[in-house]
Structure 1
């Protein structure tokens, strides 16, 4: 039952927002009593914390699986983008904004985990791209990895990117193109152009 509650809560948080969804909402949606939820989660904070970590682990494992497929590093980034968006239900900025505003400690913990995970993945991706002649060999991988993480994080800022004006998919594709055009060789740009045609 705990796993079922976690899955349903995560789904509702991503769809409606971490602040907007109440324990009553989750109980009603599942057809169970609120008491049943409290048997597994002491309060809403603990449920939000476990839901965000559950989501992080799910996405992390999926990214690890994608990285073993042997795709070239440019295509790999697009496949990861699609996978992450699917698991986040193409969410708008609102759920993440609510998490940051109303659950700052949980948000900060999530960001640290994301940076550790994403930083490692991006550096491996960059080095692979350099080896394959798709990325420029003179780039500083440590700096570019941090640029990439900082940029991806800023896409969730609803004050900069109002979800009423920018869809999550458009932002993700535009940011990937922005990132890759700055580091690609001519060979890499040819591959990028091919992928952009199928992502727009």
Structure 2
């Protein structure tokens, strides 16, 4: 029952956003009593925390598959940020908007717990790109990842951009410019081959 509540609630959060989905609405969708809901989760935030854990585990699996299919580190990094932008600004944008603006501390807590191996994977990908001559030799992979993370968060979490209608384009150009800036000529050739970047 606990797993069913989590899976169904996550789907509802992704589809309708977090703020709109109350425990009462979730109970109706699930066809269970409020008592049953409270047996497993003390409040909405406790439920959301478990749902986020489930979501980030699935996201990490998807990222691993994506990277397996990438022909080189540049394409891999572009794929990762393309997917992130699709999630943040695509059909699940309400979920990510609510998460970034109303639950950032909870998101950070869950990400710290579930995303550390994914961050290690991305750091390794960047290091591979440096070693293979796609990215500039003097770069430090953890600093590149931290820079990308800070830039991404500056758009998705900064209230300055809350009502900014071009957020998707802003993040796209910010990331593309940064990626071009860390590339060698070999890496730039890959970005040029990608032509219409999906990010």
Distance (Å, rounded) in 1 between the aligned partners of 2:174 and 2:121: 17
* Structure 1 stretches of at least 4 aligned residues deviating more than 6 Å after TM superposition: none
Name structure 2 gaps, 5 residues minimum. none
CA shift at 1:111, angstroms? 4.5
Structure 2 counterpart SS, 1:144: helix
8 Å Cα contact 1:19-1:99 kept in structure 2: no
The total of aligned residue pairs comes to 195
8 Å Cα contact 2:56-2:111 kept in structure 1: no
Partner residue in 2 for 1:177: 176
Name structure 1 gaps, 5 residues minimum. none
- 2:71 counterpart of 1:67: no
| RMSD of aligned Cα (Å) | 2.7
Distance (Å, rounded) in 1 between the aligned partners of 2:19 and 2:195: 36
Instruction: Compute the TM-score of the two structures, normalised by the length of structure 2.
Output: 0.81
Partner residue in 2 for 1:48: 48
CA shift at 1:5, angstroms? 1.8
Q: CA offsets, 1:143-184, max 9 Å, x none?
A: 22211121222222251323551254x344323302211101
Distance (Å, rounded) in 2 between the aligned partners of 1:199 and 1:85: 9
Q: CA offsets, 1:30-76, max 9 Å, x none?
A: 33333332233232222011011111111122222333335211111
Partner residue in 2 for 1:91: 93
Residues 196 and 39 (structure 1 numbering): CA distance in 2 closer, same or farther, change over 3 Å? farther
Instruction: Compute the TM-score of the two structures, normalised by the length of structure 1.
Output: 0.80
- Listed as ranges, the matches of 1:178-197 within 5 Å are 178-197=177-196
